[in-house]
Amino acid sequence: MGESADGALWRAISECDAAAAIAALEAGADASARSEWGPAPADAAAAMAAITGGAFEEAAARIIEAGGRPAYASDGLRSSLESALGSGLPRLASALIAAGADPRGRGAQGKTPLHFAAQGGEGESVRLLLGHGADIEAADHFGGRPLHEAARDGREGPLLALIEAGADLMARDESGMTPLHAAADLANAAACHALGAAMARKGLALEIPDAYGRTPLSLAASEASFAPRDDAARSIAILQRFALGGAAAPPAPRRARPPRSL
């Protein structure tokens, strides 16, 4: 007796064989059938897509579109959506949203799917979520907006997508840091350039003190001993260049001492 379509689907998932997985679906495999050890095909397929950097993305999306709903705990959809967005898999994220994942939901530390897309995703993922009503100014438990996450990560796609969609360039987290502070704190030169240019176009001040009196330039300078030398030097040069034409910085509330840098 040959292997069942359901068995072929599970074998294809375990072997990360996208073509075989799609063939199993076309042969009638039940995309919602749970395995003996618990996971649903959609859970395993979404995880495989994230682990392999997208090699299994199309197959995972097809499984979900065929009726396979992630079932890990009560928040399986949300967890799989976060994983897809954080891994830069917009095709899979779109399938999950169509299956019922909430693009405005909250996860650990109050982060939304847009935070995950901003941190490790693609510009397409950011636009997908905004098109489904995601809040571009949603703050996590620490006051961080999606633009703060994009500034730290520095990927051009999410960063530019948020800037173009009108994200608040002057938004502050609970430490009084703007997205430019976040970029400078990690000596992320590309993000410093994108944010600095956007702020300069609007005539916004770059050298704004955070709640501890630190400006983006001072943060970049303090990173010079830790970040790669070229990154720190470029960040400092970029900030100095844009700051020359910046507006006067508004005062910020002061705190007793800054948090320890990691």
- CATH code for the domain of 180: 1.25.40
Q: Identify whether residues 124 and 219 lie together within a single domain.
A: no
Residue 108 burial (C-beta neighbours within 10 Å; 0-12, 13-18, 19+): exposed
The answer to whether residues 133 and 101 touch, using CB atoms and an 8 Å cutoff, is no
Query: Would you say residue 65 lies in a domain?
Result: yes
Indicate the residue among 102, 118, 141 that finishes a domain. Answer: 102
Give the residue numbers spanning the domain of 136: 104-168
Considering the domain boundaries, does residue 259 fall inside one?
Answer: no
Is the per-residue pLDDT at 113 higher than 70?
Answer: yes
Q: What pLDDT was estimated at residue 224?
A: 62
Phi-psi sector, 187: left (phi>0), alpha (psi -120 to 50), beta: left
**What is the model's pTM?**
0.83
Confidence of residue 150 (pLDDT cuts 50, 70, 90): very high
Instruction: Say whether both 97 and 140 belong to one domain.
Output: no
79, 102, 125: which is the final residue of a domain? 102
Domain count, the chain: 3
Domain boundary among 152, 168, 184: 168
14 CB neighbour count, 10 Å cutoff: 12
73 with 9, same domain?
yes
Mean pLDDT of 95-124: 90
Q: Which of 38, 58, 35 is nearest to 48 (CA)?
A: 58
At residue 34, does pLDDT exceed 60? yes
Q: Are residues 139 and 71 in the same domain?
A: no
